[in-house]
Amino acid sequence: MPPHRLTAQTIDDETALRALLGAPLPLVAAKVTDRLNALTRQFIERSPMVILATSDGRGGCDVSPRGDPAGFVRILDERTLLLPERPGNRIADSLRNIVENPHVGLLFIVPGVGDAFRVHGRATLTTDAGLLAPSAVEGKPPKLGILVDIESAYTQCSKAFLRSDFWNPARFVDRAALPTGGEIMRAIVGEAVDPPSYDAERGARYARREGFY
């Protein structure tokens, strides 16, 4: 692979990478396990948000948030998780990737907590109604779920959240300071989109919780 167009100073093998970074401490490496335990499972049980990373058969990557009431990712046993799939935009990047390539990464986030929890494993899509029924919200069970067989699981230290001051309410950004969804769509597709109408209609759907479950 040629160097990036902006620099010739690149690293393209692990030997060079390790020469720069060094090796992880043995105690750090020891935290990686192939299953949950009574302590680590609490991060999943208390998390209302997980970031799902997937890639297709050619290596094209996708990352997608999944959110629901805390504990929505069910722990079936110490090595198996179930993520309910809720209605979305039907582009289905993550799901199409899993069909091609079962390897997934999960990052569980707990509000106000700096430590996160990482899981890597192999995913399978399931339509088993009996398995999915306990994941119902507002009386609506999901039609589809993502089963994850855990291959590695470990805590992620809080440095990123501390450096970013992420949980500090004083640093929260006013939504009005950023472009709206309608304004972005207008910039992409042109005058066919009226930003105020687009944003009002979407806001009304969300207020009705239309398509949430």
132: domain CATH number is: 2.30.110.10
pTM score, two decimals? 0.94
74-77, strands of its sheet edge to edge: 61-67, 49-55, 103-109, 116-126, 144-156, 80-85, 74-77
- Whether residues 131 and 203 share a domain: the answer is no
> Does 8 fall in a domain?
no
* Residue 5: band (very low, low, confident or very high) from pLDDT cuts 50, 70, 90: confident
Closest C-alpha to 40, from 10, 81, 3: 81
| pLDDT > 90? residue 161 | yes
**What's the number of domains the chain is made of?**
2
Cα–Cα dist 64/210, whole Å: 20
- Mean pLDDT across the stretch 101-129? 98
- Whether residues 184 and 160 share a domain: the answer is no
Q: Provide the domain limits for residue 75.
A: 30-164
- Whether residues 37 and 135 share a domain: the answer is yes
- Whether residues 35 and 91 share a domain: the answer is yes
186: left (phi over 0), alpha (psi -120 to 50) or beta: alpha
- Whether residues 181 and 103 share a domain: the answer is no
- Whether residues 157 and 178 share a domain: the answer is no
- Whether residues 45 and 108 share a domain: the answer is yes
Q: Is 93 exposed, middle or buried (0-12, 13-18, 19+ CB in 10 A)?
A: middle
> Does 15 fall in a domain?
no
- Whether residues 48 and 125 share a domain: the answer is yes
pLDDT tens digits, residue range 174-192?
999 999 999 999 999 999 9
> Does 17 fall in a domain?
no
> Does 3 fall in a domain?
no
User: Which pLDDT score, from 0 to 100, does residue 193 have?
Assistant: 97
User: Which pLDDT score, from 0 to 100, does residue 3 have?
Assistant: 65
